[in-house]
Amino acid sequence: MLSRPNADEYFEYFGRYILLVPDGNLRDILRTQLAETVALLSGVTDEKAEKAYGAGKWTLKEAVLHMSDAERVFGYRMLRISRGDATPLPGFEQDEWVPHSCANDRALTNLVMEFATVRASTLALVDSISPAGWLRTGTASGHKISARALAYIAVGHERHHVKIFRERYLTAN
């Protein structure tokens, strides 16, 4: 079982995501999350998914694609760091990526399928990392981070957005 990362394994900002991860087997949590997220978004119409909950906010489609994009970045960082690559990894600017994503031109079902595929890739990577690999650290976005912190961040990041989906996008109004 992959243990929770120590506070010195990640930049303080990411603590907000790590705190959202429940205790338990991280691999099981990754799998359960996937099923829950797919179920939550099933049946949401494209019309509803193309609406933002406020001015300057992303649409639900954009937020779902952002989850896939971010998880890809977390996975790539996890791969590089767990395999002992010490090359500093750049950050990414989510607010610059979203306008170029064309998420609103796609069906929500396609975006959800993409997230499921990305999550399956994350699961395969998580299953491939050695115990020593989880403890390796590297630099991403100018800050020290461990491979296991990245796995926890991926879980917490998804939880963060699903909470927003429930509270802001999928309300009865």
pLDDT digit string (tens) for 10-47?
A: 999 999 999 999 999 999 999 999 999 999 999 999 99
- Pairwise CA distance, residues 167 & 160, whole Å: 11
- Pairwise CA distance, residues 116 & 112, whole Å: 6
> For residues 90, 91, 97 and 101, what is the CA-based torsion angle, rounded to 10 degrees?
70
As beta bridge partners, residue 145 has: 138
pLDDT digit string (tens) for 139-165?
A: 999 999 999 999 999 999 999 999 999
In the chain, % of residues over pLDDT 70:
99
Q: Rounded mean pLDDT of 133-138? A: 98
CB atoms within 10 A of CB 166: 11
Domain boundaries 7-169, corresponding CATH code: 1.20.120.450
pLDDT digit string (tens) for 38-63?
A: 999 999 999 999 999 999 999 999 99
Per-residue pLDDT at 171: 86
Structure pTM? 0.95
As beta bridge partners, residue 139 has: 144
Query: What residue has token string 């699903």?
Result: 162
